[in-house]
Amino acid sequence: MPDLKDHLLIIKPMKTDTEVQKDVMDELYWEPFLKASEIGVAVKNGIVTLSGTVNSYLKKTIAEKAAKRVAGVKAVAEDIEVKYPGDSIKNDTEIAQAILNALKWNSAITEDKIKVKVENGVVTLDGQVEWEFQRGIVVSEIENLWGVQKIVNNMTLKNIVPIADLKQKIKSAFERSADIDADKISIETSGNKVTLKGTVRSWKERTNAEMAVWSASGVYQVDNQLSVKSGVYTA
C-alpha cells in the first residue's frame, strides 16, 4: 500500500510583509559587499521597494539580487541612487574607454560586435551576440566600473536555427535541477521562442527556470510569465 506521506500537500502559512521585510534586511546584511544601513526596505503585498544611496552600481545590482533570493518576495521595485565621491567622478569619455578596455580583454566577447554609448553615466549597449551568457558577461564586466550609474542592455541574440525536441530538452533540464519544481511549470515553444507559465515558490526559482531555458541551444527569446506563490509545497 503506498505511503500517503509521499503525496501530502503541505500548506505553509504565507509570510507577512513584516516577516518578508526582516528577511530581506537580513539577506542584505549577509552580503559582505553591502552596508545594510545604506539601503531602506519597504514591503507591501510581497512587493519589495529598495531605497537609499550606494557608492557603486555593482552594490545596487547586488542589493536587488539579494532581495529576489528571499522567499515570499513577489517583485522588487528598485529606487537606489548611485552617488560616487566627488573627487572620483569620471566623465562619459573616461567611462566609455574603461568599458572598451574591459571588453577587449575578455576572450568570451567579440568587442567589435558591441556598441557602447555613455551619457551622464548611463551606459547603453547595442549589438548582437550568439549566446545569452555573453550578454550577462558584458554587463558583469561593466557594472563594477567607476562612474557607471545605470546599464541599459539592448543587445540582441543572433538568430539561431530551431532545434528538434527543444521543449523536451528544457523539461529535462528542469527535472534535473534541485531548485526547480518542473511539475508546476508549463513550457510552450514557437520556433526559437520559449514561454514559461505556472507558479514557482520564490523569485530565485523563477530566475533559475529562465536561466535554464537560456542555456538551451536554439533559444532566441524567453517570455517568463511565471508567478511567485510561496507557501504551497508537495512533500
- Structure confidence by residue, pLDDT tens digits, 37-72: 889 999 999 999 999 999 889 999 999 989 988 988
Residue with cell 574607454: 97
For residues 142-151, give the mean pLDDT.
90
For residues 30-37, give the mean pLDDT.
85
* The predicted structure's pLDDT at residue 67: 92
Q: What whole-number distance in Å separates Cα of residue 61 and Cα of residue 34?
A: 11
Looking at every residue in the chain, the average pLDDT score rounds to: 84
For residues 23-48, give the mean pLDDT.
90
Cα dihedral 87, 124, 205, 215 sign:
negative
| Check whether domain 166-234 has CATH 3.30.300.130, yes or no | yes
Q: What whole-number distance in Å separates Cα of residue 114 and Cα of residue 217?
A: 21
Residue with cell 551606459: 123
List residues bridging with 223 in a β-sheet. Answer: 195
pLDDT above 70 coverage of the chain, percent: 89
More confident residue, 215 or 13: 215
Domains 87-157 and 166-234 share a fold: no
State the Rg of the chain over Cα: 20
Is residue 209 within 8 Å of 224, Cβ to Cβ? Answer: yes
pLDDT at 4 over 80: no
Choose the CATH number for 9-82 among 1.10.10.10, 3.30.1340.30, 3.20.20.80, 3.50.50.60: 3.30.1340.30
SS3 78: strand
pLDDT at 232 over 90: no
The domain spans of the chain are 9-82, 87-157, 166-234
Choose the CATH number for 87-157 among 3.90.1150.10, 1.10.10.10, 3.30.1340.30, 3.40.190.10: 3.30.1340.30
Residue 6 cell numbers, joined: 509521499
Lowest mean pLDDT among 15-24, 41-50, 104-113, 207-216: 104-113
